[in-house]
Amino acid sequence: MASNSLSKKDAPKNISSNAKTLGDDDFIVSKTDTSGKIIYCNEIFTKMAGYPAASLIGANHNLIRHPDMPRIAFKLAWDLIKSKKEFFGFVKNLCADGGHYWVLAYITADLDTSGNIISYTSVRRKPPQSAIDTIAPIYKLLLEAEQRGGMDASSKILNDFLDEKKVGYDEFIINLQKGATV
């Protein structure tokens, strides 16, 4: 790990409503080791997050976790990628200045030739505003449920919501990315 890398305590405390938007053709890419420490990020990642590249290498990826994000989203992601499945999800990320940017994130495990997980890779692109408008209030409900009753409570809300819509999680996310509204 780089000795000058950032840690969660370096994340901004002054959260603002400033929003940055990815370009239509932009891709944010990062790779982590198996514990979630950043081992690679591209230039657009550093530009959006607002940190110098050298200080991001070795930092835990949770440096850019936004407090509005419910924990259930990351539990879902880690459960899937640790079992070598793909994760798709909308993520609100925290910038160094306390602002944020939304992405549709794809995360997957990188395997060696024997099938062992050696790292993880994430590629993100710009979500449509309609997807952000739909998912933000859902995340708010999940976060409130988590604060009341932990992840069992937020997990129940998410599952009940999907059951009511008669849609699987992946399908729900992909439909929102295509511009569907709930």
Ligand X SMILES: Cc1cc2nc3c(=O)[nH]c(=O)nc-3n(C[C@H](O)[C@H](O)[C@H](O)COP(=O)(O)O)c2cc1C
Q: What residues make contact with ligand X under the rule CB under 6 A?
A: 30, 32, 36, 61-62, 64-65, 69, 74, 91, 93, 105, 107, 120-122
Dihedral of the alpha carbons of 11, 8, 148, 167, in degrees to the nearest 10: 90
Complex with ligand X: residue 65 or 126, whichever CB lies closer:
65
| Rounded least distance, CB 73 to ligand X, Å | 8
Measured from the CB atom, the residue of 151 and 180 that comes closer to ligand X is 151
CA distance 107 to 77: 8
Cβ partners under 8 Å of residue 112, min gap 6: 118
Shortest Cβ 37–ligand X spacing (Å): 9
Backbone Cα Rg of the chain: 16
User: Which 3 state secondary structure label does DSSP give 15?
Assistant: coil
Q: How far is the CB of 28 from ligand X (least distance, A)?
A: 8
The CB-of-49 to ligand X minimum distance in angstroms stands at 9
Closest approach of Cβ 165 to ligand X, in Å?
A: 25
- Helices 169-177, 129-165: axis angle to 10 degrees equals 150
In whole angstroms, what is the distance from residue 175 CA to residue 167 CA?
A: 10
Between 87 and 172, name the residue whose CB sits nearer to ligand X.
87
Nearer to ligand X, 14 or 166 (CB): 14
79 versus 160: smaller Cβ distance to ligand X: 79
Say if strands 100-111 and 117-125 run parallel, antiparallel, or are unpaired.
antiparallel
